[in-house]
A and B are shown apart, each in its own frame.
Chain A
Amino acid sequence: MTYTLLHNASTINYALAAVVLPLIASIINLLLPGKSGKVSGFISAGAILVSVVLAAFVFANVWNNPLIHVQQLWFTIGATPVYAGMLLNNLSVFMLLLVTVIALPVHIYSTAYIKPAEQNRYFTYLSFFCFSMLALVVIDSLVLLYAFWELVGFSSYLLIGFWFTKDSAVQANKKAFIMNRIGDIGLLSAIIILFAQFHTFDLVQLFGDNGLVYRSDVQNGMWVSPAGQMSEVWQYVAFIGIFLAVAAKSAQFPLHTWLPDAMEGPTSVSALIHAATMVAAGVFLLGRVYPMFNVYELNTLAIIGCFTAFLAATIALTQNDLKRILAYSTISQLGYMIMAMGINAYASSLFHLATHAFFKCLLFLCAGVIIHEVQHIKDEHRLDIDPQNILYMGGLRKKMPLTFIATVVGCLALVGLPLTSGYLSKDSILIQAFEWSDGKSAWYKIVPVSILLTSCLTAFYVARLIFKVFFGEFKLKEILPNIHLHISDGSWAFRIPLIFLSLCCLFPLFSLHPLLYEHAWLHKGFVPTDYMARESIYHTIIPAAINIASIFVAYWAFAVYIQQRKLVFSQTNFLFRLSYHHWYIDMFYQQIVVKAVLLLSNGFFWFDRTIVDGFLHLLQRIISALSGIAAWTDRYIVDGTLLVITQLVKLIGDFFRGFQSGRVQYYLFSMLAIVLAVFIIKLLI
């Protein structure tokens, strides 16, 4: 018992240290004077390295062991206590290890990718992001979950707009932040509803085994729980809130348009945040609150995830920007994960999260290397080209062999061909999709069929990417024949992360059996204890079918792009344009939503300027007029009265002064006149 306690205490301390170290690195980098260059990189990378080691310890202690939950009273409002604490269960430590392991190669890569003058600011932000993400995955209270959710969004905002002198970057980070905000509103509403129903924020109490959510039910139109009851509408509202949060963070339809624009940030940022970790936070949230969904809500999730996957894959077919292809690919794969959550394949979803993190990060880092080299050519020869455009690339496999191999490994994992980790996770989802639609009406078959189609599309656009970039002739040389090209794989800071991640994309990391996903230890860690693996025909047909289809599609792409055979679809018809312009969703938002909001804000501005200020001006004029009247009164009436009185006194004085004329006879006369008057009066009386 004591050992367990001590054991737990040290585990908790390790976890806490793993979370807080990046924060300390961030603060140190913040306080360092600007342009410290390499030092900040070492500090951040060192912090992450130690976090990896600590996370590994914690993982080893907690994986498939009883969960550890500690908390402390933070504050009390009225009769409600709010706790802050740490929850370490399978999901937490899995995410902890994943994030730190992905962050480490990205940190090393960034030291070479970002200019030394900007590295100080960059690593401050990056370490802060790592701290927010790590704290998000270990926190045990919904309140603090929301706080770190917001911090993760904020760090993303800082990093997307890292090169803030570019107007497109500023627009992109504004868009990302606003869309994330919509998700935050949803999350906050859901948290409030959950609290109103269950009167606690604690994740273990709510969603743990035998938690409050398990023991609550919808009966007769009321959502009944051991802690209280309310109308069942609120259960659906809470679901909508959670869904909004997930859609915003994990870029699902309709809140997916920020992710392609977020490619304005540095590529290493895209690799860490927008491929592997932050966008996975949505799936993580679903994992946390999974017990509260009923079958209708899960179906909704499945449909939306499926639709998003299909949508993104179709758009990726026609894009020319290297990073945008990868961005839409990310959206598509996230759609897979959400759909997997929706069809009750909880374990497969999280498994795919892990494998996707590795190969997507790898792909982004490779893209970064390529873009870095093309940027060098652009700066050297002062060309006016977009370094991310794949139409200028080609034939790079000879010049950058390591990058080529790494990209091919990552793309194979993305497509899901055997011997890669992607094969295991993707096929598990496909198989479970078919099993889920079994026994239900024919409409449910749409989901697995469209997922199958999406996989084919994935193969096509991935092949297109590889063939356009690495095969054929270097297109830029055809446009400008005279330039000399010095393209290479880059420094060791580029190569080592690529090698490490490529190795992680292969099956041995996840499972000893290359073809059966049920043997993967990660999968086994997440399945519910009463899961019974159904061995159906799908387990053999689906992998075979999809792999053959993928290889065929890849060969077709080869034929089109390298052997220059005619395309089946022209480049100007409606479908092409629909795909190229992102299904016009962005345009729709811009025209309808943005314009409406701007109109409203202009209206308020007008109101404030004209009516509120006008009212104040009116008041001011009234008061001026009143004071003018007061001044007039004072000057003419008050002073006037005074003046009149003085004039009167002067008049009387002058009158009496007239008697003092200086002439003696006049004095005598007046004296006698009075005497006479007295005489006469005496006589008459």
Chain B
Amino acid sequence: MMITLTYYLLVSAGLFSIGLYIILSKKNAIQILIGIELMLNAAILNLIAFGKFDQLKNSGQTFALFTIVLAAASTAVALAIVLNVYRRYRTIDPGKVNQLKD
């Protein structure tokens, strides 16, 4: 059967949910970073899937490229932050970093 756009969207949705699950349930900051990456990737897949239908301006693929670059930048900064958090709190469990609670 023909692979329509919807299938790619479904895969993207599945990836997004998994990434969401990882963010919400992991006790490790780096694993959460991975979760974020997964969600980003889901979004990129979405972009690519729609990008097939615009050859003139090729916005889909272009923006997918931009997104990949953004993901890289954010990951780099996030890792630096995680490092600082570790230095300060001696742990990278986000559940334990709750000094801002009421």
Contacts and interface: CB of A to CB of B under 8 A. Distances in A.
Q: Do chains A and B touch in the complex (CB under 8 A)?
A: yes
Interface of A: 657, 660-665, 668-669, 672
A661 B23 CA distance: 17
Given A663-B101, A668-B23, A672-B20, 10 more contacts: A660-B101, A660-B102, A661-B101, A662-B97, A662-B101, A664-B94, A665-B24, A665-B32, A668-B24, A672-B24
Interface string B8-49: 000000000000100111000000100000000000000000
B100 interface: yes
A668 B95 CA distance: 12
B101 A665 contact: no
Interface in B64-102: 94-95, 97-102
A663 B24 contact: no
B44 to A, nearest CB: 21
Main secondary structure of the interface of B (DSSP, over half): loop
Contacts of B94: 663-665
Nearest to A660: B102
Nearest to A664: B94
Contacts of A665: 23-25, 32, 94-95
A665 B36 CA distance: 12
B102 to A, nearest CB: 4
Contacts of B97: 662-664
Contacts, number: 31
A672 B94 CA distance: 18
A663 B23 contact: no
A668 B35 CA distance: 13
A655 to B, nearest CB: 12
Nearest to A654: B102
Give the contact-size bracket for chain B: 10 to 19
Contacts of B95: 663, 665
Contacts of A662: 97-102
Main secondary structure of the interface of A (DSSP, over half): helix
Contact of A661 (B20, B24, B32, B98): B98
- For the complex of A and B, 3 pairs with smallest distance between CB atoms: A662-B101, A662-B98, A660-B102
16 contacts: A660-B101, A661-B98, A662-B97, A662-B99, A662-B101, A663-B94, A663-B95, A663-B97, A663-B98, A663-B101, A664-B97, A665-B23, A665-B25, A668-B23, A668-B24, A672-B20
A491 to B, nearest CB: 114
B81 to A, nearest CB: 12
A680 to B, nearest CB: 15
Contacts of A661: 98, 101-102
A668 B22 CA distance: 12
A212 B74 CA distance: 137
A277 B58 CA distance: 152
Nearest to A653: B102
Nearest to B94: A664
A662 B94 CA distance: 9
A672 B17 CA distance: 12
A513 to B, nearest CB: 135
Contacts of B24: 665, 668-669, 672
Contacts of B99: 662
Contacts of A660: 100-102
Nearest to A661: B101
Given A668-B23, A669-B24, A657 B102 contact: yes
A600 B100 CA distance: 90
B95, B100, B102: residue with the most chain A Cβ atoms closer than 10 Å: B102
Nearest to B100: A662
Contacts of B102: 657, 660-662
A669 B32 CA distance: 13
A77 to B, nearest CB: 90
A679 to B, nearest CB: 13
A652 to B, nearest CB: 14
A663, A669, A672: residue with the most chain B Cβ atoms closer than 10 Å: A663
Contacts of A664: 94, 97
A669 B20 CA distance: 9
A660 B23 CA distance: 19
Nearest to B101: A662
A669 B21 CA distance: 10
Contacts of B20: 672
A663 B32 CA distance: 13
A433 to B, nearest CB: 125
A198 to B, nearest CB: 105
A669 B97 CA distance: 16
